[in-house]
Amino acid sequence: MSRLGGRLAVLTVPPAALTTLLLTTLFLAAPARADGLQQCIDRAAAHGGVPPTCTKINGKWVANWPDDPSSGSGFEGIFVAFLVIGLLVAGATIAWRVSTAQKLARQSGLDPDVATQMALFSDDGLDATYLAASLRPPPATAPATPAPDPEPVRTRSVAERLSELAALRDEGVITADEHDRRRAAIIDQV
């Protein structure tokens, strides 16, 4: 009996070791799968023994780990894309506010730097700049170069005017009555 008891003691193996031994034997003895599932599971060694989640995509098994950034669901990429778009829109809005405030300030004679500060650091800065520009009259422009004095009107003598009037009557351009009326008007101006 003592011989039999010694032999049984040799065959007794702790349960954890037996499980490991059994699983190792199954995986080693199992035929290689043509679909790559085993290759997916074998990648656990590269990640510190953490088993992957194997998913079949387009007929191929793909390993994913929850903490692996390359195996994300794509949410991170979408979030980054929206973040970049949001920053671009914010930058374009700020540039528009500043340029509009400066243009309004220049047109009304205000300080463009103050208008920029108002547009950037105040919620209603652009509105305030517009209101100030609307209420203030436009700056006076420097007078243009003065126009040259027109040539003085040459005043004709009474004798010249009367002789011209007589020449028009002789040529038949005006009638005798028109001549007499204009002659009286010229003489009255003297």
The verdict on 26 and 53 lying in the same domain is yes
> Is residue 187 in a domain?
no
- Give residue for tokens 């193996």: 13
Q: Looking at residues 96-100, what average pLDDT do you find?
A: 90
Which helix (H) or strand (E) segment holds residue 53: the answer is strand 53-57
pLDDT value at 89 more than 90: yes
Give which of 121, 124, 123, 126 is closest to 102, Cα–Cα. Answer: 126
Q: Which residue has the higher pLDDT, 51 or 143?
A: 51
pTM over 0.75: no
pLDDT digits (tens, 9 = 90+) for 7-16: 444 445 555 5
Q: Looking at residues 110-129, what average pLDDT do you find?
A: 84
Q: How confident is the model at residue 19 (pLDDT cuts 50, 70, 90)?
A: low
> Is residue 189 in a domain?
no
Which domain covers residue 79, as residue numbers? 75-135
Number of domains in the chain: 2
d(CA 91, CA 82) in angstroms, rounded, equals 14
State the SS3 of 6-33. Answer: HHHHHHCCCHHHHHHHHHHHHHHHCCCC
The verdict on 96 and 116 lying in the same domain is yes
> Is residue 20 in a domain?
yes
pLDDT digits (tens, 9 = 90+) for 30-49: 444 445 777 777 777 777 77
- The percentage of residues in the chain with a pLDDT greater than 90, rounded to a whole number, is 15
pLDDT value at 77 more than 60: yes
What does the block give as tokens for 82? Answer: 């929206």
Q: Looking at residues 171-181, what average pLDDT do you find?
A: 90
What angle separates helix 112-121 from helix 125-135, to the nearest 10 degrees? 150
